[in-house]
Amino acid sequence: MSKRCNLAELDKVKEQWGRAYQPASIREQQAWEHDFANAYGDVSYLQVSTTSSGNNIHNMLTVRVMMGVEGSNFEGIQMDIEKVWSSDLAQGLSAHHAFLNTREGFDFQFLALNALNVYISGTVTVQKKSR
């Protein structure tokens, strides 16, 4: 289960984990990248447009998603993004996440720590469908 928090809390945990634990290797980041693309690609109204890994230790993974419908309910979409993260991707891990609303949609920032004390961090950017 993942704990929903505000951005300041997430940044504080990220800083603490960065000092205490090992960041995910490039190979582990690439595996996460694949898992994110599959998990969010299974949500019918979302289209995964790009994924990238290895950015930096504070944002190791970036996933860009386009909403496949216009006039979407952001709150409902955030609930779905959170559900996939908590019940699928972060299951069995110590995890935290936060949302940041943007002009074009929102960012879902996440952080997870496994039993081997290796952590992953990143952002899923969800944008409105282009016209």
Question: Which of the two residues, 72 and 43, has the higher pLDDT score?
Answer: 43
According to the model, what pLDDT value does residue 49 have? 87
Model confidence band, residue 73 (pLDDT cutoffs 50, 70, 90) = confident
3-class state of residue 32 by DSSP: helix
Q: Which pTM was predicted? A: 0.91
Is the pLDDT assigned to residue 101 strictly greater than 60?
A: yes
Q: Is residue 130 pLDDT above 70, yes or no?
A: no
Average pLDDT, the chain: 90
User: Three-state SS string across 40-104, please?
Assistant: HHCCCCEEEEEEEEEEECCEEEEEEEEECCCCCCHHHHHHHHHHHHHHHHCCCCEEEEEEEEECC
